[in-house]
Amino acid sequence: MRNPRRTKVLAGISAFCACLVFATGERAAFAGDVPEKSLTLQELIDLPEKDLARVDIATLNLACAEGLPGSEKIDRAAILETIDSWARQVAAVTASKAHFFESHPDYYENSWAKYCSIMLVLTLQQDLGVHYNIEQRTKPSLAKSKDQFIHGIVEGTGGTCASLPVIFVAVGRRLGYPLRLAQSFSHFYARWDDPVTGEQFNVDGSNSTAQSYSPNTSGFDRGRCRVVTVL
């Protein structure tokens, strides 16, 4: 029997362009997300909650774009392969520049996790061309799905705070990073949330830099808005 609440939530994801995974209780292991590349939005709606929580967040995002303007030519397999390749490159760059952390750990607040999150965002931005779609800042529009969902980022047109954090989380989880999506009243971003060490901080890459903030605020809001949702 279909769960009305889950149906409403997943259907509503597309409407407000946040593209967030529906979750209840504890999330599955971050490194164990299941990339169900062929699942349609309806099939995702019908999944048991425990299985839905394990679906790759990039797959969820692309499925939520299904049927929206500009989504007709989405090649989901190719996009997911690109994200996989981005994860490999982030891993290589992070390892090759580890001497930055070793020589100046104070720059990263003596946190290997913050070093990894900064390298994640900067590698995606500087080496792989992930960027904010400036036109969406000056002339915001919801008319095209590529401006709010991750296929626009992979295609090179850029994204917004609705889609960029999804890319950061999707790539990070492929590397085993304990990343979640977080939402304040006016902004979306990523959160490092390690259940083992207890380390928490927000990761914001919606501009041209990588920034980290306390778990109760976002960089965008500069402390004015508390986090209202973490998924």
193 CB contacts (<8 Å, ≥6 apart)?
Answer: 178, 179, 180, 200, 215, 230
Task: Name the nearest CA neighbour of 160 among 136, 128, 190.
Answer: 136
- Cα separations in angstroms, 55 against 126, 209, 216: 28, 29, 27
Over the chain (231 residues), the average pLDDT of each successive run of 10 is: 42 34 32 57 85 89 86 88 96 96 94 95 93 70 75 86 92 96 82 94 75 50 44 51
Give the count of domains, the chain: 1
Q: Strand, helix or coil at 33?
A: coil
User: How many other CB atoms are there within 10 angstroms of residue 168's CB atom?
Assistant: 25
**What pLDDT was estimated at residue 136?**
62
Residues forming beta bridges with residue 182, ordered by sequence position = 189, 230
Domain residue limits at 166:
4-230
**What pLDDT was estimated at residue 147?**
74
Contact 17, 149 (CB under 8 A): yes
**What pLDDT was estimated at residue 17?**
32
